[in-house]
Structure 1
Amino acid sequence: MKNTYFTLVVLLISTACFGQKQVSLFNGKDFTGWHIDVPAMDNKPDAKSPFIIREGKIVSLASPQGHIITDAAYENYELDVTYRFSAKPGNCGVLVHCSTPRVLYKMFPKSIECQMMHENAGDFWCIGEDIVTPNMEERRGPKADWGVTEGKERRVKNLTDNSEKPLGQWNTMKVECQGNKITVWLNGDLVNEGIATASKGQIALQAEGSEVEFKEVLLTKIKQ
């Protein structure tokens, strides 16, 4: 009995010290905790939303373009997003450190995008915020062209090829936001990392280019 009690105490202490609680940002039933920002719906409140729930998953229908954004802001966390292009390959992304709405092309919130576009997953895109990465000029182009607004070179190419699963299979993107550092893995491969100009904000998923299913959106706080 004493040994059992001692083991239980050790387990509880270990969990308190090292365990991190992973929570789902999506309840599988409705969009509680999220709001939808789609410019094309501003004057058409009855317009069909590009975000629906289907078989317990968030589905981005791609059009009209916009974002589904968490109501809450987050900092120091790991985000695990399981997704797939269910119909045809295309474009989508998860945005972190979101703040001011519609700062780019009157649609994109100020943020750093972690690209999910087929064959380009893991790229960073700067949207009002900036990020510094290793091999910056090699992966972003001439420094004179860099910027975070329309017409500037906002893309920082990812570090790997062939990290995506074949079309139709599920991919898992892990985004670690710790202070100003953002690190991205795709299916276990390190695909990008850098130091951003923001350290906290909301999280968003895109409707942009092709139908995408999101099976899981899981967040784990990182203790400081």
Structure 2
Amino acid sequence: MKKYLLSSCVAIATLCGAANVHAQTRSLFNFKDLKGWHIDVPAMDKDSSVKTPFILRNGVFVSLASPQGHIITDKSYENYRLEVQYRFPAKPGNCGVLVFVSKPRVLYDMFPKSIEVQMQHKDAGDFWCIGEDITVPDMEKRRGPKNEWGSVDGKRRRIMNLTDNSEKPLGEWNTMIIECVGNAIKVWVNGDLVNYGTQATARKGQIALQAEGSEVEFRKVDLTPIVAFSEKGH
């Protein structure tokens, strides 16, 4: 089933794709401090002794398992390609990259309004709708009954990815590429196209990384701006 969905998605992405010109790539982390980012961890509001779950260690950025929260770019972005290299160094678990981030704490008093690209072990590339929404091919097969779709608590917010076994074994580095152009999002994991969505309800916003369930190391978080133009329009 997932092979069929992947073939359909690749075809649609090819037909609908814009011609893209990539500009200069830059890292969103300098790996010396957290300049350019701010931390939003609800537990830190209530207790000043609570330590941040986001640290730099041995030249990499580390998202710890708890307390749960997000680290969010100060700037907003649109039309870009984000390359993230990450691994679960100890045990598999949950984490995510959030794009089109805007209003903080709209879900469970923690998650900001956004679309999450899942990094959870064995589910990398799933979409989770958090106050925003997106459309993919074969929606009912991948999301469930249409009358249960939604982007708030109690609704089917998860849209399953297209592939199995795209991730590397535990402890090895994975490369996730997220391309946001207009209101479309494409995701690759280790070279496999694992998700593609269009008609997102947002097209720009901040970028966030989670602390949620397991320690994750990041050695690359690179952003490349994209200048998009239609093949008919140039």
Report the AA paired with residue 187 of structure 1: N
CA distance in 2, matches of 1:55, 1:26: 14
**How many residues are treated as equivalent by the alignment?**
208
Q: Does 1:35 align with 2:38?
A: yes
1:151-195 residue CA offsets vs partner (Å, 9 max, x unmatched): 110000000000000000000100000000000000000000102
How far residue 19 of structure 1 moved from its aligned partner, in angstroms, is 5.7
1:57-98 residue CA offsets vs partner (Å, 9 max, x unmatched): 110111000000000000000000000001100000000000
Q: 1:73 aligns with which of 71, 76, 86?
A: 76
Partner residue in 2 for 1:47 = 50
How far residue 18 of structure 1 moved from its aligned partner, in angstroms, is 5.5
Q: TM-score, normalised by structure 2?
A: 0.87
CA distance in 1, matches of 2:40, 2:166: 30
Report the AA paired with residue 131 of structure 1: I
Partner residue in 2 for 1:8 = none
Report the AA paired with residue 146 of structure 1: W
Unaligned runs of 5+ in 2: 1-19, 229-234
> Structure 1 residues 178, 212: closer, same or farther in 2, change over 3 A?
same
Q: Is the 8 A contact 2:38 2:73 kept in 1?
A: yes
**Corresponding residue SS for 1:137:** helix
Partner residue in 1 for 2:231 = none
Please list, as runs of the form range in 1=range in 2, the aligned pairs for 1:4-15 lying within 5 A after superposition.
Answer: none
CA distance in 1, matches of 2:57, 2:93: 20
CA distance in 2, matches of 1:18, 1:96: 21
Partner residue in 2 for 1:172 = 175
Q: Does 1:214 align with 2:218?
A: yes
Partner residue in 2 for 1:189 = 192
Please list, as runs of the form range in 1=range in 2, the aligned pairs for 1:46-195 lying within 5 A after superposition.
Answer: 46-195=49-198
Report the AA paired with residue 168 of structure 2: K
**Corresponding residue SS for 2:187:** strand
1:95-136 residue CA offsets vs partner (Å, 9 max, x unmatched): 000000000000000000000000000100000000100010
Partner residue in 2 for 1:9 = none
Pick the structure with greater CA Rg.
1
Dislocated runs of 4+, deviation >4 Å: none
Q: Does 1:201 align with 2:205?
A: yes
**Corresponding residue SS for 1:73:** coil
Identity of aligned residues (%): 70
Unaligned runs of 5+ in 1: 1-16
